[in-house]
Chains A and B, each alone.
Chain A
Amino acid sequence: MGKLIIDGIEVEPDPSKTILQVANELGIHIPTLCYHPSLPYYGACRVCIVETIWRGRSTLSTACTFPAWEGEVKTDSEMVRKARKVILELMLAEAPDSPEIMELAREYGIEETRFKVRKERIGNKCIQCALCVRFCRDVLGIGAIGFKNRGYTRELTTPFEIYSDVCTTCGACEFLCPTNAIDLSTISPNKPIPLLSEYEAGLKQRSCINIPFPQAIPNKPVLDRDHCMHFLKDACGVCSTVCGPQAINYDQEEEIVEEDVGAIVVATGYDLYPIINIPEYGGGKYKDVLDGLQFERLLSASGPTAGEVKRPSDGKVPKRVVFISCVGSRDPENHFPYCSKICCMYSAKHAMLYKHKVHDGEAVVFYIDIRSDGKGYEEFVTRAQEEDNVLYIRGKVSKIYKNEKDNLVVMGADTLSGNQIEIECELVVLSMAVRPKEGTNDLVNKLKIQADANGFLTEAHPKLRPVETLTGGFFLAGAAQAPKDIPDTVAQASGAAAKVVSMFSEAEIHKEPVIAAVDAELCSGCQMCIPLCPYDAREFDEKNKIAVVNEGLCEGCGCCISACPSGACQQRNLNDTQILSMIKVALEK
């Protein structure tokens, strides 16, 4: 068997592949428009045309359909360029207003097509490569779009030229179209719902398969099962066809791993109170009202705008930004009574960073009190005020609305001067209240630990045991216990870790001395106590015909004691006689 020579590079022929695939593997560029690796070859656009030479005879073939047999292939010969030129000129006559085709034509030295452009094609961008039609039908199994008519009147449309009722507005057609000819709003009346990146706090779209954030460990893509068409409709599967190493595995399931552990540190963190709960500040209504985390992403060099401060509604650089502290916190009537602790400092940081990025910008902070209690914190706020000229206004904001210039107007009171003020600005950042992470309550019930009225986890003692819970073996760290900043979290987490280590380093466990005991003389062996015990600490001693207590397992709740009909079962150090004496003393008064 002979060799396959592509542009002078010798490879083994492999008829199961096409010339295009082999060329791509070799890194040889062949232009394509209608080709997609997840679809069977189609050969509609013809721009991938190459010269194939076999036994001295040279012909033109489309690389996307021609098998990689032995012979010679030239991808950029004079003959190929000439043929492509004609193809592109014909394409330009068909789709005269497509910038992508014009760009490709220019690469081949074509400025204008020699063919006549029919007047019904003026403004047309579609080159009828059918990529969208094939993808919708063959990969997604929907078939919301197709062609009508034949020959030179062929046109892309929906069946009967009415809105498609099967279109799921997935947007694949719009995304795939090589000439941007598709407008999804002509196919379906429904608006596509964008998938927003959680990491970018909803300021950027993400795909169904994505690496959650740049430093993710392991740094591998994950599939969003709730939105992936493969899981929803058993269709698509494009990611597995384009993945070279075949790493996509749709059968992978979440697994439950069981581990025996000696201690659990609960460090579930916090959520921000959703902005939508503050309608008077336009939360959820105005795009330019952000929460602190969103603004943090906007400032980040790896963020959705690559570090440029641009407001989400129109991409304009805001010249005045208003920061509002205590939104939802310190508001016992409407929201939460506590102070969220971190907002004063991050507002100051945000205002400073904004001023560093937008030099002619103005930053205004509304505050009730500035709580800068930490090492160097007060100096930091002073620096924001004095060096970066951040304007601090003491007062609460009552309302935010949009004016006719599409800017936001912040209405509030300046409690130092006693005046009502209105500030027109282009972006508002709300310092939303810190809430316990969603699901903390379920965890509390599961672990049998305690939470306070606001849902934050309760420590065993507010001063003397701040990292332990009342339940043995459970420790606390971070904002799950109360709102706290990074230094405090690190300190508490180190404390919790040290507590765990000191617990593990002891040879014996310490238990409360209050546990159940059985008086063998009185026990009738009725076994009433055995099924009651939640810890399986009660067993029946077959030899002596009495119920016994496993002292290692008993936690001392005492539910077996009150169930014992003969009074044989008693709680050591808290028996009935002791309790009765307590009652007696209590009633002697």
Chain B
Amino acid sequence: MSNDFKPNIVGFLCNWCTYAAADLAGQSKFDIKPSINVIRVMCSSRIDPNLVLGAFLWGADGVLVAGCHPGDCHYEKGNFYTRRRFTQMKKVLETLNLDPDRLQLAWVSASEGQRYRDVINAFTDKIKEMGPNPLKPNPAV
């Protein structure tokens, strides 16, 4: 795959942990690959699978769903719902002929700015290897 492919990743970040971690990573001036478009949600359990599907159908090369570590949910158990929902969701992606690895679930707490950087950079590299989303609408058509 050519090196000038710039993945476009949609990241759904929990307001209480990963969103704060992203803030911290920014404040700490870490080098983060500019591939992610952040959408803040109050809890990772707010993310309707429809939204993830929508993102893929509109051409996202990858989707990151990030919440608090299991047991640390601000709303007690939201991230457990998320975990269950997105294990199922990966199977749905297969039926769409999409690599299930294009959807990533990550746990990043508010203090883990470095981990946020590592997650984003590793996920970007992975998507770069996979190449563009085959479902991407062709602007020429």
Contact = CB atoms under 8 A, between A and B. Distances in A.
Interface of A: 445, 448, 450-453, 458, 462, 470-471, 512, 514, 532, 534-535, 555-559, 561-563, 571, 574, 576, 579-580, 582-584, 586-587, 589
B107 interface: no
Given A453-B111, A453-B112, A571 B39 contact: no
Contacts of A458: 110-111
Contacts of B8: 586-587, 589
Nearest to B113: A453
B112 A557 contact: no
B4 interface: no
A534 B78 CA distance: 8
Contacts of B130: none
A563 B82 CA distance: 11
B26 interface: no
Contact of A558 (B42, B50, B85): B42
B46 A583 contact: no
Nearest to B43: A557
Contact of B78 (A450, A557, A576): A557
A583 B76 contact: no
Contacts of B77: 534
Given A557-B43, A558-B45, A587-B55, A576 B50 contact: yes
B72 interface: yes
Given A534-B78, A583-B51, A452 B39 contact: no
A448 B58 CA distance: 36
B116 interface: no
A450 B77 CA distance: 16
Nearest to A451: B111
A574 B15 CA distance: 13
Nearest to A584: B58
Nearest to A448: B74
A472 B115 CA distance: 26
A500 to B, nearest CB: 21
B110 to A, nearest CB: 4
Nearest to B85: A562
25 contacts: A450-B17, A450-B20, A450-B110, A451-B111, A452-B111, A470-B16, A512-B42, A534-B78, A557-B45, A557-B46, A557-B74, A557-B78, A558-B41, A558-B46, A559-B46, A562-B85, A571-B46, A574-B41, A580-B54, A583-B55, A586-B8, A586-B60, A587-B10, A587-B60, A589-B8
Which 7 pairs of residues, A with B, have the shortest CB-CB distance? Answer: A558-B46, A586-B37, A559-B45, A557-B75, A557-B43, A452-B111, A562-B48
A583 B10 contact: yes
Nearest to A532: B81
Nearest to A533: B75
Nearest to A571: B46
- In this complex, which of A514, A561, A579, A580 has the most chain B Cβ atoms within 10 angstroms of its Cβ? A579
B42 A574 contact: yes
Contact of A450 (B43, B49, B54, B111): B111
B15 to A, nearest CB: 8
B109 interface: yes
Contacts of B49: 562
B131 interface: no
B47 interface: yes
Nearest to A514: B42
Contacts of A448: 72-74, 76
A555 B78 CA distance: 12
Given A576-B48, A587-B58, A557 B42 contact: yes
Contacts of A562: 45-49, 81, 85
Nearest to B6: A589
Contact of A556 (B42, B73, B109): B42
A471 B110 CA distance: 12
Given A445-B72, A571-B46, A582 B39 contact: yes
Given A558-B42, A571-B42, 13 more contacts: A445-B72, A450-B17, A450-B20, A453-B111, A470-B110, A532-B81, A534-B78, A557-B42, A558-B45, A559-B43, A582-B39, A586-B37, A587-B37
Interface in B95-120: 109-112
Interface in B34-93: 37, 39, 41-43, 45-51, 54-55, 58-60, 71-78, 81, 85
A451 B45 CA distance: 22
Nearest to B59: A587
A578 to B, nearest CB: 10
Given A445-B71, A557-B75, A583 B60 contact: yes
A458 B71 CA distance: 18
B69 to A, nearest CB: 10
Given A450-B110, A470-B16, A557-B75, A583 B48 contact: no
Nearest to A585: B37
A435 to B, nearest CB: 15
A557 B73 CA distance: 10
A559 B75 contact: yes
